[in-house]
A and B are shown apart, each in its own frame.
Chain A
Amino acid sequence: MDASETVKKIRFTLNGRPVSATVESHVDLVDLLRRFDLGGARESCGQGLCGCCTVVVDGVAMSGCLTLAQLVDGKRVDTIEGLDQTGALSPVQQAFIDEGAFQCGFCTPGFVLMTHQLLERNPDPSEPEIRDYLAGNLCRCAAYPEIIRAVKSAASRMRASAAA
């Protein structure tokens, strides 16, 4: 097959900035982000099970490892690196630090992005709701108790600032 059929130039918005890239059809979204020097989304299981490669596309969380890069053409792509562009950490990032909700940190970007997704949809989740929502994110250091505390803490901080 000649390359003109498999390679395509795409344009998309990456963390608020318009960008373009020439990508082969088989490249996935994690590898595309690597070309922009973004390492927050990491491939771990490669099967959509672990959540380490979480990326938000047009406001919807997906596994970068199961997303063909060419399919983000024309879309808005947000990664963990976009959360603190104002110079301040997001309330979820701050809560993860305050609660010590990680050890090695490999899974943390995925947990942080999924927590933002959860709290956008459900500002006051119960513990079972938190556990259900984050069931597809695996932490091999098993910092789960601290992660759940961080999610609750972030939720109450975000509710307080929304009410202010």
Chain B
Amino acid sequence: MRGFELVHPGSLADAIGLLDTDDDTVRPFSGGTALMLMMKTGVFRPSRLVHLGRIGDAYSEITASPAGGLRIGAMATLSALEHSPEVIRVAPVVARAMTRLANVRVRNVACVGGNLAHGDPHMDLPPVLAALGGSVSVAGPQGTRDVAVEKLFSGYYETVLGRGELITDVVLPSQRGWSSAYLKCTTRSADDWPALGVAVSLRIEGGAISEARVVVSAATEILTRLTTAESALTGAAADESTFARACEAAAAEAEMVEDARGSADYKTQLLRVYLRRALTQAVQDGAVS
């Protein structure tokens, strides 16, 4: 790594002001666990890092809404998500996903906002939040806006965030009545980046699926909702034959990327298997009350 300027704005407005530049060697820095790897390998050579650790404690708060939703400050660490009583109650699938993400030390430092804004399709949290219908609040020089997590990513390590924009919160709608699960498959070692991530969220009423969200990540260039698989699930009984149809629809729909973790064909087969397991697990774990 080479020398750069590390600045510590004391407010969100100051941070946005410092980031409102066309210079792409100026970047926000929260937990830094992902950025440090890019800096150490020379992939990223910053001229200035805008450290967000001092913009205020309000940006790391996690609060449950009376309606059954959740607001998660972007500076909340992944460990805070893992252990938050609100997260465990409202969105237990999020807390469970944390237990197999990196390790304790990384989770102690890495933050929710950076995890999303990094745009890495191999991350575990984005597909889970997308399946739960989550959105992010974004603040920038032109004001604030909301973006659905499933619309946040525009390419490999690319997001729709514009110049000077920062994610300030993640907002989850009410999870009451939804059954959710996330599974990933690592092919080289247990702690490898996933070859495939699949997140599902189902609303089941009287044994039939009334609404479904299916999101695939890691094996695809960006996280992707599989709408034909969702159509195969919606209105059908929550049983094995429905799940089998949905898995075939997903396999036909997803555009898999071949890499060191497996061929496209192999990942398509993984999707068939892991989507069925995720759907089964969501039903077994039951709905959030």
Contacts and interface: CB of A to CB of B under 8 A. Distances in A.
B99 interface: yes
Contact of A25 (B5, B37, B40): B5
B103 A25 contact: no
B2 A26 contact: yes
Interface in A76-97: none
Interface in B81-118: 99, 102-106, 108-109
Contacts of B190: 135
Given A5-B5, A25-B5, A26-B2, A61 B102 contact: no
Nearest to A121: B83
A25 B49 CA distance: 10
Interface stretch (A48-56, A98-106, A140-148): A48-56
Interface string A20-61: 000011101000000000000000001111010010000011
Contact of B109 (A3, A66, A117): A66
Contacts of B40: 46-47
Interface residues of B, number: 26
Interface stretch (A11-19, A67-75, A150-158): A67-75
Nearest to A48: B106
A66 B33 contact: yes
A103 B1 CA distance: 33
Contacts of B32: 66-68
A62 interface: yes
Contact of B105 (A26, A54, A71): A54
Interface residues of A, number: 33
A22 to B, nearest CB: 13
B173 interface: no
A26 B106 contact: no
A28 B33 CA distance: 12
Nearest to A137: B103
A54 B106 CA distance: 11
Contact of B37 (A6, A47, A60): A47
Contacts of A6: 3-5
A45 to B, nearest CB: 11
Contacts of A66: 32-33, 36-37, 106, 109
Contacts, number: 82
Given A47-B37, A48-B106, A3 B3 contact: yes
Contacts of A108: none
Contacts of B273: none
A1 interface: yes
A26 B104 CA distance: 24
Given A66-B32, A66-B33, A51 B105 contact: yes
Nearest to B6: A25
A114 B99 CA distance: 16
B277 interface: no
A155 B39 CA distance: 39
A26 B3 contact: yes
Contact of A71 (B39, B51, B108): B51
B105 A24 contact: no
Interface in A118-133: 132-133
Contacts of B103: 48-49, 51, 135-137
- Nearest 6 Cβ contacts at the A-B interface: A136-B103, A6-B3, A26-B1, A66-B36, A5-B5, A25-B6
